């Protein structure tokens, strides 16, 4: 059996694991779709390349990002916001592939949030050492919709705390095909990703790809 076949074994998904009110891990939920998702990611980042955004403080993020959908999350020295076009090209972001929207809708429903129609998908690429410090996703305007977050490639340690920055976050190991969903009372929970450990994933090598689906206005 080749490493690649092993990587695409059928989903071991069983049931949601509740990590906080309104927040669940769906372990293995996206495993069967992973290959299709990654093929789509390759096309998307050929059209709208991954880039290290600058934050208002002036430093570049260690995570490289791109977007698809009608709106994309961007950052520069003036702040964070959603933009209908890619600042690199001035062109609209690539459309959200049907397989992305379908997976996000199903994952949200599995977590108890019916009718999720994301219009923004942030594509995050982590290489070893890259991290995302504790933050809230609060640039969306539309806070009644959940966040759906899909992990592909190398394992990561996901930090998930409460709605106050001082709440000590719990740590969860997220693997290829795992999906996290948070909304309702956890919609503004602080979360982040610890520095990515070295590794060699059979499909993605030294990378982790995260797809974060949101309803932005």
Ligand X SMILES: O=C(O)CCC(=O)C(=O)O
Binding region for ligand X (CB under 6 A): 122, 124, 132, 137, 149, 151, 158, 191, 193, 210, 212
Minimum CB–partner distance for residue 90 and Mn ion (Å): 26
Residue of 29, 86, 137, 193 interacting with Mn ion (CB under 5 A): 137
Question: Residue 122 binds what, of Mn ion, ligand X, none (CB under 5 to 8 Å, by partner type)?
Answer: ligand X
Q: How many CB atoms lie within 10 A of CB 17?
A: 13
Q: By beta-carbon distance, which residue lies closest to ligand X?
A: 210
Strands 120-126 and 208-214: antiparallel
Please list, in sequence order, all residues whose beta carbon lies within 8 angstroms of the beta carbon of residue 189, skipping any fewer than 6 positions away: 20, 23, 136, 160, 161, 162, 163, 182
Contact predicate 52/74, CB 8 Å:
no
Helix (H, G, I), strand (E, B) or coil at 45: helix
Minimum CB–partner distance for residue 208 and ligand X (Å): 7
Q: How many CB atoms lie within 10 A of CB 98?
A: 9
Minimum CB–partner distance for residue 137 and Mn ion (Å): 4
Question: Residue 66 binds what, of ligand X, Mn ion, none (CB under 5 to 8 Å, by partner type)?
Answer: none
Which of residues 6 and 79 has its CB atom nearest to ligand X in the complex?
79
Minimum CB–partner distance for residue 65 and ligand X (Å): 8
Question: Residue 210 binds what, of Mn ion, ligand X, none (CB under 5 to 8 Å, by partner type)?
Answer: ligand X
Contact predicate 150/211, CB 8 Å:
yes
Residue range at the interface with Mn ion (CB under 5 A); choices 2-10, 63-71, 107-115, 135-143: 135-143
Reference 54, options 69, 45, 68, 64; nearest CA is: 64
């Amino acid at each position: 059996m080749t490493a690649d076949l092993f990587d695409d074994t059928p989903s071991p998904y069983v049931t949601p694991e509740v990590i906080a009110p309104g927040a669940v891990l769906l372990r293995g939920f996206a495993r069967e779709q992973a290959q299709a998702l990654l093929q789509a990611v390759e096309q998307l980042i050929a059209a709208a390349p991954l880039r290290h955004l600058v934050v208002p403080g002036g430093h570049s993020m260690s995570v490289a990002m791109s977007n698809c959908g009608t709106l994309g999350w961007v950052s520069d020295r003036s702040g964070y916001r959603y933009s209908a076009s890619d600042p690199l090209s001035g062109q609209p972001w690539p459309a959200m592939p049907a397989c992305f929207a379908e997976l996000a809708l199903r994952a949200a429903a599995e977590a108890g949030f019916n009718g999720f129609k994301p219009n923004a998908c942030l594509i995050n690429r982590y290489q070893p050492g890259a991290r995302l410090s504790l933050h809230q996703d609060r640039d969306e305007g539309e806070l009644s919709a959940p966040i759906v977050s899909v992990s592909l490639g190398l394992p990561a340690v996901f930090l998930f705390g409460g709605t106050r920055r001082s709440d000590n976050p719990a740590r969860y190991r997220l693997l290829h095909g795992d999906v996290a969903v948070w909304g309702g009372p956890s919609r503004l929970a602080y979360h982040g990703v610890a520095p990515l450990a070295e590794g060699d994933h059979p499909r993605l090598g030294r990378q982790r790809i995260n797809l974060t689906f949101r309803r932005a206005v």
